[in-house]
Amino acid sequence: MAVKGLSQTSETIVIGFSVDESAANTFTQGQVDLQLNPLDNEVFVVTGINLDPFFPSALAATDTRVKTALTTTSRTSMPGLSDSACLATAVNQIQAAGFVDGGVGFQQSSFDTPPGMLDYLGIIATNDFFIQVEGSGNPVPKGVTGKLYGYRARASAATYAALVQSEVLSS
């Protein structure tokens, strides 16, 4: 189902991605080019996101974590869902402080696909989306893999200008 004010120009597109930390426990960001055509006021309507962070290291008496996010604009630190440009987050963590073994693992994520009442998760009006990953307490670099689901659409000039401005202002 197309979003009001947009004309769907493609079937569902699935884009796979991966980002590895540049060093252990270091915020790292990857950029994926959607190859949108701004001359045709082309946007990407996001209908689903799957973030699959690597498992953190299981170390006795040490809390470890791998946090990930997907945003419409570049970030310099790990965003949360309260960030208007953040479309999804996922965290794998092991709580082991005080344990002599590897501790207890936890997983937390925003939903991968929208509930039936939502037509889409977000609209990307500029050419790229960004994936962030950051570990904590891990002796080796970690990463994230995932998929972005959606379709290309064309907007009117006024709608396109508003979407681009809104996205750029959220950076």
Domain count, the chain: 1
DSSP characters over the chain: -PPTTEEE-SS-EEEEEEEE-SSTT--EEEEEE----GGGTEEEEEEEEEEEEPPPP-BTTB-EEEEEEEESS--SS---TTSTTEEEEEEEEEE-TT-SSS-EEEEEE--SS--TT-S-SEEE-SSEEEEEEEEES-SS--EEEEEEEEEEEEE-HHHHHHHHHHHHHT-
**The model scores a pTM over 0.85:** yes
- CATH code for the domain in which residue 35 is found: 2.60.120
In a domain, 142, yes or no: yes
> pLDDT at position 51, please?
95
Domain ranges, residue 86: 6-169
The predicted-structure confidence for 49-86, as pLDDT tens digits, reads as follows 999 999 999 888 888 999 999 999 999 999 999 999 99
In a domain, 1, yes or no: no
In a domain, 127, yes or no: yes
The predicted-structure confidence for 107-131, as pLDDT tens digits, reads as follows 666 665 556 667 888 999 999 999 9
- Does residue 171 carry a pLDDT above 80? no
The predicted-structure confidence for 1-57, as pLDDT tens digits, reads as follows 567 889 999 999 999 999 999 999 999 999 999 999 999 999 999 999 999 999 999
> pLDDT at position 113, please?
55
In a domain, 81, yes or no: yes
